[in-house]
Structure 1
């Protein structure tokens, strides 16, 4: 198991990467013609899809790394770079290309199951969140570590469901400016975490740096 602070850091980092507040405008746009009950169901579908995707990715991380022939430190360096690029986009109050490309955005209106695509994937779950999940889960061993990791993922996805369920009142209250401020705050936090993950990876690849 890791220290308690590591699990808190994992939860805050992953929530900052997923950043459900950034998904509110698109969520409202894609569910504009739906009732409150249908919006709630869409939010629940999106949160469940995020949970399943991250659990599968996190627990298959060791297999993925072995198939790629990559070490965890190398993955940390690559993941840190991806997270830092996402953080820069968040600080500029923009969706990063790692989250959603213009082509995916234009195709979104044609989807019926918008809770899964494009809200859960690729808007919420992308290379950044998958990388962070694999990195943190691979850092510890034992069933207690795995259980706590799943519990944290479940708690985060519960938060995503609440934010998306309340997307209309949150959007009305905060407005575009308020949402951008939140995104910038999450971006700053994510930038700091990305640099730390990158530094940890470098120390693993080059022990002399430690």
Structure 2
């Protein structure tokens, strides 16, 4: 039977990965020249898109693994490694999902200049919800034994979306109060938490792939 700590762990992991506070500088950068109403709309669309990515990953993750013939243990090891890499980026005060090349960044900025929406790309994908977020939701979805546990994961997607929307809506005052140093400190703290969770996920997967490791522990 799942304990309360087991139930809350996916939410802690999600908040650490998504880390909307660390994306505030990017939100301000990409919405320069926007009116207040346009910024608020961008925040809402980005939050809704993040919820859709999280919920679809939770609901369809198992089916995707079955389709490609990937074992849960292998995905846990791979997903945990991806989380660990993301946490290392955050410990260097970089967003967990910000992995685009210089060419991709320039292309995105060119699209924004042409009037294309930036709420989905790059704010939602890859800055808020990228491969690490998707992997995390798939891993926790495969560990769910009851329909209400899957529903809880979707509910956590709502919580993360609300946090993201509120953070982006208050981007300017947050940036003024915390400053770049404060945001970097928060990002590093989230990275440390994520690193510990990543090691735990990888250890679980390795224990299933190599039972001798579990016996040795």
With the shorter chain as reference, the TM-score category is over 0.9
Kept in 2, the 8 Å contact 1:99–1:125? The answer is no
Kept in 2, the 8 Å contact 1:99–1:124? The answer is no
Higher mean C-alpha displacement, 30-39 vs 1-10:
1-10
Aligned counterparts, 1:53-68, within 5 A: 53-68=53-68
Give the distance between the partners of 1:171 and 1:108, measured in 2 at CA: 23
Q: Specify which of 184, 191, 194 is matched with residue 190 of structure 1.
A: 194
Higher mean C-alpha displacement, 147-156 vs 100-109:
100-109
Q: Structure 1's 174 and 39: CA in aligned 2 closer, same or farther, altered over 3 A?
A: same
Cα deviation for residue 3 of structure 1 reads: 2.4
Corresponding residue for 1:207? 211
Structure 1 ranges of 4+ moved more than 6 A: none
Number of equivalenced pairs: 210
Q: What is the root-mean-square deviation of aligned Cα atoms in Å?
A: 1.5
Cα deviation for residue 138 of structure 1 reads: 1.3
Question: What is the DSSP-based 3-state SS (H/G/I as helix, E as strand, rest coil) of the residue aligned with 1:2?
Answer: coil
Give the distance between the partners of 1:6 and 1:99, measured in 2 at CA: 30
TM-score normalised to structure 1 length: 0.95
Q: Specify which of 162, 167, 170 is matched with residue 166 of structure 1.
A: 170
Higher mean C-alpha displacement, 143-152 vs 88-97:
88-97
Kept in 2, the 8 Å contact 1:31–1:39? The answer is yes
Deviation by residue 1:72-131 (Cα, 9 ceiling, x = unmatched): 111000011111011111101124576433333222222321111110011111110000
Structure 2: tracts of 5 or more residues without a match: none
Question: What is the DSSP-based 3-state SS (H/G/I as helix, E as strand, rest coil) of the residue aligned with 2:117?
Answer: coil
TM-score normalised to structure 2 length: 0.92
Question: What is the DSSP-based 3-state SS (H/G/I as helix, E as strand, rest coil) of the residue aligned with 1:60?
Answer: helix
Q: Structure 1's 98 and 25: CA in aligned 2 closer, same or farther, altered over 3 A?
A: closer
Corresponding residue for 1:113? 117
Cα deviation for residue 26 of structure 1 reads: 1.1
Give the distance between the partners of 2:133 and 2:42, measured in 1 at CA: 21
